[in-house]
Amino acid sequence: MKMIFLYVALTFTSLSCKSGGSSTSAEVEGKHEQVDSLQADSLDQLEAKDSSFYLKASKGKEGEICLKYRLNHTNTYKYFCFKYFDYSDVVFPDTSVGIINDGSFRESSYYLVHDSILILPLIGMNNFLSVYILNLQSQEVLGSDIRTSFSLVWIDGKSSTFLTTDTPDYINDTTYLYKLNKYKIEGGAMSLIKRDTAHLNVNLKDDLKINYKIARRILH
């Protein structure tokens, strides 16, 4: 999950994305920017501070994660605990989302949609990300323990959509088949709006440049 790319041109011949039975390939340019204002004090909690939003997430009682937060245009702190379904200790990754904006992306450890819906990935079993979607205004859990096998949850902020991937299927010694899930957050609710697939070389499965290319194609 390290940030290692600045102004990179992406050309890949081993990748194909399938939708409706067709395969495509393209050259994509991407700029990788710095992470946002999230500050992680340790692996068992995280804290985000800026002028319009405050969040502190930490382990509560057994099987729970508790949030302390302040939303934009409010002066009071709120508290909200939700069930955590993993059997391991709670681990907050230093970076877990890739936020796409036109031809660039930045990394963070959370994302806030419509100023009140929190996308919060945690490190789950087998080091896969486990994603929680939380409506902080109504204190509802919109989605819980959504697993993804990419190293980041990819998000298009303009369309309020995000991408997760199922555990890949083994095709042969050089290729995995990834099943892609596109979700949309709208009107305080979350829905799965598209499924797709992508063939990916085994040696490139953790390559952020490749993941970015797939996500940009599916989310745009």
**Does 32 map to a domain?**
yes
pLDDT at 33 (0 to 100):
52
Model confidence, pTM: 0.81
Rounded Cα distance between 86 and 218, Å, is 29
Residue 192 pLDDT: 98
> Is the distance from CB of 156 to CB of 220 less than 8 angstroms?
yes
Question: At 185, is the secondary structure helix, strand, or coil?
Answer: strand
pLDDT digit string, tens, across residues 42-77: 578 999 998 889 999 998 888 899 999 999 989 899
- The residue type of 37 is S
Q: Where are the beta strands (DSSP E) in the chain?
A: 8-11, 16-19, 22-24, 27-33, 38-42, 45-49, 54-59, 64-70, 78-83, 97-101, 104-108, 111-113, 117-123, 129-135, 140-148, 153-156, 161-165, 169-172, 175-186, 189-201
In a domain, 74, yes or no: no
Domain assignment of residue 146, yes or no: yes
Q: Which domain holds residue 32?
A: 8-38+88-219
> Would 19 be classed as within a structural domain?
yes
Domain-embedded: residue 120: yes
Tell how strand 189-201 and strand 16-19 pair up: antiparallel
Residue 58 lies in a domain: no
Residue 78 in any domain: the answer is no
Provide the residue-wise pLDDT of the chain in tens; the chain has 220 residues: 433 333 333 333 334 444 433 333 333 345 555 444 444 445 789 999 988 899 999 988 888 999 999 999 898 999 999 998 766 667 899 899 999 988 899 999 999 999 999 999 998 877 789 999 999 999 999 999 999 999 999 999 999 999 999 999 999 999 999 999 999 999 899 999 999 999 999 888 889 999 999 999 999 8
In a domain, 52, yes or no: no
Domain count, the chain: 1
